[in-house]
Structure 1
Amino acid sequence: MVAVDSQGPQDSAVRMFRRERSIPLRGSAAALCNNLSVLQLPSRNLTHFGVVHGPSAQLVSAAPEGVPLAQRQLHAKEGAGVSPPLITQVHWCVLPFRVLLVLTSHRGIQMYESDGSVMVYWHALDSGDASPGTWSGRILVFDIPAKGPNIVLSEELAGHQTPVTDIATEPAQGQDCVADMVTADDSGLLCVWRSGPKFKLLTRIPGFGVPCPSVQLWHGTVAAGYGDGQVRLYEAGTGTLHVQISAHARAICALDLAPEVGKLLSAAEDTFVHIWKLSRSPESGYTEVEHCHGECVPDTQVCGARFCDPSGSSFAVTGYDLAEILRFSSV
């Protein structure tokens, strides 16, 4: 295992990213971890952004120069209850044959067509459950057809005893015994799964007494961000710890990966966003890390951050009570 200290932006000899025109929001971002979702549409030269605020989610479509072209507000379906439910996450699920926009609240799960125009499925949750998994620790698995609303809850996975905080996946590419999903919870426990007709739990990676709000999966490496500011990289199949990074001074709120190049983005309540380059050592087979860029967002409690393209050449950031999406692109 290798320990790595964070490098601040003042230590970078050359700045890799510059601030671009921000995208205005009608409402500010709520103080939720992973409170930013991004869907790039290269064929239309557009990028969709989704941000949560209270009982609604704001969707913004923007051109590359940051000019907002369309905005839409989605609200949580009320279900049973006397008060409007609060949305816990908005996220685009990109499947091989379909893209769905998923809204989750304490009352249920709403699935829309990718532009948010039509709701195709609603799943009510029991009292006390929430998403991306549930407060009870269950992971809900749905069968999604190529089109239409015939979505079915097919399986419930039991691996967590505390609230689920995040889920990450990557294509298994048909290989046997390959981990292609990882889930995290409030205790810091990670569960690594292999999908199939039935999901199989491959390994459980113990927590460290602090929550794990965000997790990513890349080429068999699990990247996990923790409430103590640490980023830890594990071998997905065995749970072996490869690297521990003292990345931030406060709780990490978001991780993201640019899969084409192995860039890892980490964002935290300390106002910093860091970008790391991951690679595999040909000698040891271990994952290695190099710090590439650090960006301070002054006086802002960062709550969401995502790459805007699979090559990691641009990223976007949201902050608590910030009525805009900040955008950065490579120099």
Structure 2
Amino acid sequence: MYRRQKSLVLKGSSSALYNNLSALPLPAKQLTYFATVQGGTVHLLSASADGLSVSHRQLQAKEGSLAAGTSILTQAAWCVLPSRSLLVVTSQKGIQMYEADGSIMVYWHALDASESSPGQAVFARGIAATGQRFVCVGTSLGCVLVFDIPCKGTNITLSEVLEEHRSAITDIGAELCEQPEGSIDLVTADDAGALCAWRSGEEFQLVSKIPASGCPCSSVKLWNGVIMAGYGNGQIRLYEAAGGTLRAEVAAHARWIYALDLAPLSGKLLSGAEDSFVTVWGLTCNPDTEDIEIKHCQTECLTDTQICGARFCDPEGSTFAVTGYDLSEIIRYVQL
């Protein structure tokens, strides 16, 4: 069972965007970083476990020589690689990468609006780190940009563009635990509901593709070869990543799912939706029979709140945080 803890007050609120909350635990410092975006601002917080020590920062992301206020930010998320951690921010203009605390911008990539059709929105959305050195970011054109990240410094390069999707990318999930070489370690989702499973490397390989379902897949995760996808109709579906076989389906929420998160060490799944509910699920995989089970663990209601962000704060899933549209706080829960 989880119990609600002291909330963290934001100097602002959160926009109604998919996956609009990111968390970076720092066990050595006994702190957790949180990030959520509103308009052209990234709200950054660092908080102790008891919530008594909180530090605020508002990052006005720069885009070339222009302030981010000239465009709308779409997501902020930390990408943790073996050699370094980066804060990645996406917008209508492009992609910015910062040191983990947001203090220094180390890379800026502009989106090419000329490649879009007349009247088509241009933006980046969907962020994940995979492999030993790659950060992947989705775009409204359906492309996934693969950036090669050095151990230090600013010599970040665009190494590959994945062009399998035909609709705007909504989210990207990556395997967080160490897996055998050659395993599927990346999954991408789009506005039409199509999913692609990839194997990273010097050249990324498409392993399987789940066709568009006509309903947007707003959030996606990958764990032990299983794809977990949340949809606009409130469903959560579990697929076998290697072949795309549907293994389980749950009518999880009454309205649009905005966020999924996974605790890789325990197999807990977190979902948050427009219906004001956030739910913890338990996943189990039987390697002998290839059966996948999902069970309900706990549901919490944030009355009159359109949930837009939900994240576990540690790999075991013993704590999680939630925020919502126009909500000026981050609500935290801890396992008893």
* Alignment partner, residue 133 of structure 2: none
* Alignment partner, residue 122 of structure 1: 108
Alignment gaps of 5+ in structure 1? 1-15
* Alignment partner, residue 10 of structure 1: none
Alignment gaps of 5+ in structure 2? 114-121, 127-137
**Pick from 298, 301, 313: which aligns with 1:296?**
301
- Which portions of structure 1, spanning 4 or more consecutive aligned residues, are displaced by more than 3 angstroms? 78-83, 171-174
* Alignment partner, residue 129 of structure 2: none
**Pick from 157, 161, 168: which aligns with 1:156?**
161
* Alignment partner, residue 34 of structure 2: 49
**Pick from 188, 193, 198: which aligns with 1:193?**
198
* Alignment partner, residue 147 of structure 1: 152
What is the alpha-carbon root mean square deviation over aligned residues?
1.5
2:58 is equivalent to residue 64 of structure 1: no
* Alignment partner, residue 27 of structure 1: 12
CA distance in 2: counterparts of 1:51 and 1:75, whole angstroms:
12
CA distance in 1: counterparts of 2:303 and 2:62, whole angstroms:
36
**Pick from 247, 250, 256: which aligns with 1:251?**
256
* Alignment partner, residue 125 of structure 2: 131
How far apart are 1:248 and its partner, in Å?
A: 0.3
For CA contacts below 8 A with separation 6 or more, give which structure has more relative contact order.
Answer: 1
2:24 is equivalent to residue 39 of structure 1: yes
Equivalent pairs, count: 316
CA distance in 2: counterparts of 1:282 and 1:136, whole angstroms:
37
* Alignment partner, residue 242 of structure 2: 237
Verify the 8 A CA contact 1:77 1:108 in the aligned structure 2. no
CA offsets, 1:11-60, max 9 Å, x none? xxxxx011100000000111111000000000000000001000010100
Verify the 8 A CA contact 1:172 1:179 in the aligned structure 2. no
How far apart are 1:173 and its partner, in Å?
A: 4.0
2:3 is equivalent to residue 18 of structure 1: yes
* Alignment partner, residue 94 of structure 1: 80
CA distance in 2: counterparts of 1:174 and 1:17, whole angstroms:
30
Verify the 8 A CA contact 1:76 1:84 in the aligned structure 2. no
Verify the 8 A CA contact 1:76 1:86 in the aligned structure 2. no
2:102 is equivalent to residue 108 of structure 1: no
* Alignment partner, residue 12 of structure 1: none
CA distance in 2: counterparts of 1:243 and 1:174, whole angstroms:
23
Verify the 8 A CA contact 2:21 2:311 in the aligned structure 1. yes
TM-score using structure 1 length: 0.92
How far apart are 1:317 and its partner, in Å?
A: 0.3
**Pick from 196, 203, 207: which aligns with 1:202?**
207
SS of the aligned residue for 1:131 comes to strand
CA distance in 2: counterparts of 1:242 and 1:192, whole angstroms:
16
SS of the aligned residue for 2:28 comes to helix
